[in-house]
Every structure is written in C-alpha cells, then in structure tokens.
Amino acid sequence: MTVLPIRIYGDPVLRQVAGETPLDDWVRRLAADMIETMYDAPGRGLAAPQVGEPLRLFVMDCHWKDGVAKAPQVFINPSFVERSDDQAVNEEGCLSIPGVPVDVSRPASVIMRWTNLEGAAQERSFEGFEAVCVQHETDHLDGTLNVDLASEADKIRLAPQLEVLAG
C-alpha cells in the first residue's frame, strides 16, 4: 500500500463534483491506499478528491483514535436515503484544510446507502460523530468543504488562514 499526497485547500480537484465510481481492481487498490493515507495523516475519514481522484469514494474509521481497534469502512457511490430534521453543531477538522477547525451544523442522524468493496449494496443509519463524518466526506464528493458551511462570522475570521493555505 502507498501513502498518497493529500490535496490542500485551493486545489481545484477539491471543488469538482465527483463522478460515479466503477468497482474494479484499481478502485480496490485506491481504497487500500486511501486507508493507509488516512491512518498516516492521521485522520478519521478521507475522500477520493482529497487524493486527487474525482470519484465517489471515501474511507472512514471514526473511532481508531479513541483506542478502539482499527475498523476501516469503504463507501462507493454513497447517497443519503434520509436526513433527520434535528441538527447538531460540531467542530470539524479536515485533512485538506489543516489547522483550521470550524463549527458546522448538520443533521444529527442520517441513513446512507452505498456499495462496499465486494460489490454488495449497504444501507445503515449513522448518528453522532459517525453521522458527522459520513456527511463531511460526502460533501467532498460534491465539491463542498466544511468551511463553506461555516457561519458568516467564522468565514470572515478564517479568511486569512484559508488565503495562506490557498497560496
């Protein structure tokens, strides 16, 4: 497996809407490399656009940093079936926007459908931090970054840091 370079704020691939992802051996290798990259970063989620691939693919392991055994998940062509009306505000970091945490309001729970590496359709409900993570990573597939969802006051406050990252 290979640790891939993570694209940083200002890279145009982060603003592209990712295309449907076919399941083949290349995508399986990419997913394995993304998992390795996520752990090396160290992060809890990583979307394909963050490593320069405009594909609808992300990997996630929300709890490994809490001392829980590593249990990476791979999501291919994810979509939301349902999002709760209840909202929760959480501080989110992003590997593509290092050192710039931002408060984001998102649905508190979601139901997601996706394909796994074996080609099987999956559907599951996510709550708490896992709900935050799947929404954050899916946003990357749509060219949206967590800073786009910040309050206007936070956007103004973060602007100088983002300008430095964008170069």
Catalytic residue among 53, 137, 152, 163: 137
- 123 tagged catalytic: no
Tell me the pTM: 0.96
pLDDT tens-digit series, residues 79-137: 999 999 999 999 999 999 999 999 999 999 999 999 999 999 999 999 999 999 999 99
CATH number of 12-166, picked from 3.30.450.20, 3.90.45.10, 3.40.50.300, 3.40.50.1010: 3.90.45.10
Which pLDDT band, with edges at 50, 70 and 90, does 148 fall under? very high
Give the C-alpha distances (Å, rounded to integers) separating 106 from 68, 101, 135, 155.
25, 15, 8, 17
pLDDT tens, position by position, 9-66: 999 999 999 999 999 999 999 999 999 999 999 999 999 999 999 999 999 999 898 8
∠ Cα 115 58 137 (to 5°): 120
